[in-house]
């Protein structure tokens, strides 16, 4: 049976104000907006503009959903919002989403202008990006998890869900971390009440329901080998 608990937090870095500096960002302007949804059959990169040399804004995980808002003139790229219905937009190769020619051509053409290797959009730079960095078992088998905010915006007083499961998919812990505050670049160690007695590989998934708006949602999971301390 899964354990349900609220975790304690030990901050490792001081909270610092987010930088307000901004560089010119790519501008993506669809000529029309449609909202059909698509589920990614495999992991796909989301680019700042329709070119594989452009910056990767996010990773759309396998099974992740996005809404379609246009295509490139040649139909090789699709303009998507991710998660589906979200404000963040970028370009994904049509082949990566497994859409047929008829479905692609039914989308309106969209235009994109950006410098080569352009920077991410302003709306993405303004979001946090919380990732699990490490996991280990303390004395007595209590689970400790490291977090870091890789985004350009702070996380303020957020309650973050954390699911822990075996690689076979058995859920062993459902935790709620918070309230959590992390500055950009800030890190924290979460000492949870969850006790794991059996050594093995486990999967930790942060914010599985995407309750917190982040610049990336594809880096919220961590696989770790956990071994209880002896003595």
With cut-offs at 50, 70 and 90, classify the pLDDT of residue 29.
Answer: very low
Q: How many Å apart are CA 207 and CA 94, to the nearest integer?
A: 28
Chain centroid, CA 107 distance in Å: 26
196 has pLDDT over 90: yes
Q: Which of 25-34, 128-137, 149-158, 165-174 has the lowest mean pLDDT?
A: 25-34
Quick one: average pLDDT of 57-81? 87
List pLDDT tens digits, range 71-98. 888 888 898 888 777 777 888 988 888 8
Write out pLDDT tens, residues 122-141: 454 578 889 899 999 999 99
User: What CATH superfamily is the domain 3-18+125-226?
Assistant: Immunoglobulins (2.60.40.10)
Taking the C-alpha atoms of residue 222 and residue 220, their distance in angstroms, rounded to an integer, is 7
Give the residue among 131, 117, 122, 10 at the shortest CA–CA distance from 54: 117
* pLDDT given at position 211: 86
Q: How far is CA 63 from the centre of its chain?
A: 13
- The reported pLDDT for the residue numbered 83 is 78
Q: Is the pLDDT of residue 14 over 80?
A: no
What confidence tens digit (pLDDT) does each residue in 162-188 have? 999 999 999 999 999 878 899 988 999
**Which 8-state DSSP code applies to residue 120?**
P
Question: CB–CB of 54/118 below 8 Å?
Answer: yes
CB 177 within 8 A of CB 155: no
More confident residue, 27 or 101: 101
pLDDT at 19: 37
Q: What is the pLDDT at residue 45?
A: 86
Sign of the Cα torsion 108, 114, 118, 124 reads negative
Rounded Cα distance, 22 and 90, in Å:
19
pLDDT at 202: 96
Measure the CA–CA gap between 10 and 144, rounded to whole angstroms: 10
At 73 the pLDDT is 86
pTM of the model: 0.52
β pairing state of 187-195 and 142-149: antiparallel
3-class DSSP state for residue 218?
coil
Average confidence score pLDDT of the chain: 78
Domains of the chain, residue spans = 3-18+125-226, 27-120
Place 3 in a pLDDT band, splitting at 50, 70 and 90.
low
In this prediction, residue 20 carries a pLDDT of 35
Stretch 53-76: mean pLDDT: 84
Asked whether 225 and 200 are in contact (CB, 8 A), the reply is yes
Whether 25 has a pLDDT exceeding 70, the answer reads no
In sequence order, what DSSP letters do the residues of 133-170 get, joined into one string? Answer: EEEEE-GGGEEEEEEEE-SSS-EEEEEEEEEEEETTS-
| Beta-sheet pairing, 155-166 with 200-206 | antiparallel
């Amino acid at each position: 049976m899964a354990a349900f608990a609220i975790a304690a937090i030990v901050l490792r870095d001081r909270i610092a104000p987010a930088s307000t500096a901004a560089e010119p960002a790519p501008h993506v302007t669809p000529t029309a907006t449609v909202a059909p949804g698509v589920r990614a059959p495999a992991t796909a990169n989301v680019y700042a503009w329709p070119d594989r040399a452009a910056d990767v804004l996010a990773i759309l995980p396998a099974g992740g959903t996005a809404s379609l808002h246009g295509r490139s003139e040649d139909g090789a790229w699709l303009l998507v919002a991710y998660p589906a219905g979200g404000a963040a937009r970028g370009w994904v190769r049509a082949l990566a989403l497994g859409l047929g020619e008829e479905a692609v051509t039914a989308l309106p053409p969209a235009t994109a202008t950006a410098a080569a290797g352009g920077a991410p959009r302003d709306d993405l730079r303004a979001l946090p990006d919380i990732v699990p960095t490490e996991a280990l078992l303390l004395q007595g088998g209590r689970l400790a998890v490291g977090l870091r905010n890789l985004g350009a915006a702070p996380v303020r007083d957020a309650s973050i869900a954390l699911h822990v499961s075996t690689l076979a998919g058995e859920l062993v812990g459902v935790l709620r971390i918070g309230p959590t505050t992390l500055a950009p670049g800030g890190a924290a160690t979460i000492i949870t009440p969850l006790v794991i007695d059996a050594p093995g590989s486990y999967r930790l998934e942060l914010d599985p329901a995407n309750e917190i708006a982040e610049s990336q949602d594809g880096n919220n999971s961590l696989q770790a080998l956990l071994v209880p301390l002896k003595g």
